[in-house]
Amino acid sequence: MIKVCHLSTAHKFHDIRIFRKECKSLVKVGYEVYFVVPAPSDMIEDGVKIVPIQVTPTKFRRAFLLPILALKKSLSVKADIYHFHDFELWPVALLLRFLGKKVIADVHEDIPAQLLQRPWIPRPIRKPLSLIAKWFEDMSARTMSAVVTVDASLVRRFSKVNSDVTMLENFPLLQELPLSNKCDDTFKLVSLGGVLDERCANTIIAASKGLPDVSIAIGGGISKRYSDLSWQTGNCRYLGYLSAQDALNENVNADAILVMFSDQPNHLEIKSNRLYESMYASKPIIVSSMSNWQAFIDKNECGFSVDQTNPESLIDAIERLKNDKQLAQRLGKNGKQAVLADYSWSSQENKLFDLYKRVER
């Protein structure tokens, strides 16, 4: 049996993409799968052997201590194939390659683009840091057995430095959804991307003030700017961090779902699992009006795109859905049908299996 070891220092052990999709899919076809990841203890979950490294609360320790621990734990596994998922693990991957191991890089985000938009990085050094990060990733990717990405722009970039690049998109697992237990007629929206400016929190909160008869719930992470919760009102509230099951419950109880991003470089391509999960819940979707997102919504006729900087644009879209139930139902139905036909994880599984067969050789 071929032994596979996934590595992450930045994700939780029950991460949807890594654990529930990739690891469990590989177990299903006969691989022996280990996952080195921050976790409370050794355990076996759905056939995946969790190899724990300590959970750390600080970014500094995560960036510099956890990669060393991950390297030690991963070498103890003695896997045939290693598959890593975080930017800070590139040095670990290079060491594994130096030791003659087969290594797959799984690039979830455009890190150079992210560095250009991080407010905590002084503006004068953002561009130099971005260029250094791009150089380092490209140089390291040349040596990898294969590279996995989540969108077409990353495929184009890494195909210039590696001959085996696979796009595994963040399509949802098709699973039985919980039944709605919504108990009133208030029109309800959810946004599960967090209370963050990059997820248009300022626009959503401002729009809620013009929609007193609409309920808006925001779940996920929260930035320091919003952490005192003084922005909460009677119809706009913070849900905190949600489990996967709680997120499903919020989706099925919503009347519409917000999947909005600011127009930063890392957001121009569609790689949000939230978008597809929301469509699968048969809900109309409201997204930002960036060209790729708008084209996707228009193609699938599953919601509206709005100016992410203009609360009035968002208010108008919400009012249209609230006042036309047949329209909302039709858009939601279209989204669900599109996921079933074109955007489910089962369509990506075979690409994952083919990738592993190539790397095995």
Q: What is the CATH number of the domain that holds 154?
A: 3.40.50.2000
On whether both 10 and 120 belong to a single domain, the answer is yes
197 and 213 fall within a common domain: yes
Per-residue pLDDT of the chain (361 residues; tens, 9 = 90+): 999 999 999 999 999 999 999 999 999 999 999 999 999 999 999 999 999 998 776 666 677 788 999 999 999 999 999 999 999 999 999 999 999 999 999 999 999 998 988 888 898 999 999 999 999 999 999 999 999 999 999 999 999 999 999 999 999 999 888 888 888 889 999 999 999 999 999 999 999 999 999 999 999 999 999 999 999 999 999 999 998 899 999 999 999 999 999 998 888 888 888 999 999 999 999 999 999 999 999 999 999 999 999 999 999 999 999 999 999 999 999 999 999 999 999 999 999 999 999 999 8
Q: What angle do CA 290, 111, 108 make, to 5 degrees?
A: 80
Q: Is the domain of 84 the same as that of 141?
A: yes
Residue 358 is given by DSSP the state H
Identify whether residues 115 and 45 lie together within a single domain.
yes
> 17: left (phi > 0), else alpha (psi -120 to 50), else beta?
alpha
- Number of folded domains that form the chain: 2
Residue 234 lies in a domain: yes
Does some domain include residue 182? no
CA distance 241 to 248: 13
User: Does the residue 294 lie in any domain?
Assistant: yes
Among 358, 5, 14, which Cα is nearest to 162's? 358
Q: Are residues 106 and 224 in the same domain?
A: no
Is 219:240 a contact under the CB 8 Å cutoff? yes
Domain that holds residue 51: 3-171+345-360
CA-CA distance, 162 to 200, in Å (whole number)? Answer: 35
Residues 39 and 27 in one domain: yes
Residue 156, phi-psi category: left (phi > 0), alpha (psi -120 to 50), beta (remainder): alpha
Residue 215 sits in the same domain as residue 133? no
Judge if 37 and 77 occupy the same domain. yes
- Enumerate residues 6+ apart whose C-beta is below 8 A from 291: 268
Q: In terms of C-beta density within 10 A (0-12 exposed, 13-18 middle, 19 or more buried), how is residue 65 classed?
A: middle
Is 216 contained in some domain? yes
For residues 216 and 126, what is the distance between their CA atoms, to the nearest angstrom?
Answer: 34
Residue 58 lies in a domain: yes
User: Are residue 44 and residue 149 in the same domain, yes or no?
Assistant: yes
Q: Same structural domain for residues 149 and 57?
A: yes
At residue 57, the pLDDT reads 64
108 and 233 in a single domain? The answer is no
Are 321 and 220 in the same domain? Answer: yes
Q: What is the reported pTM?
A: 0.90
Residue 178 lies in a domain: no
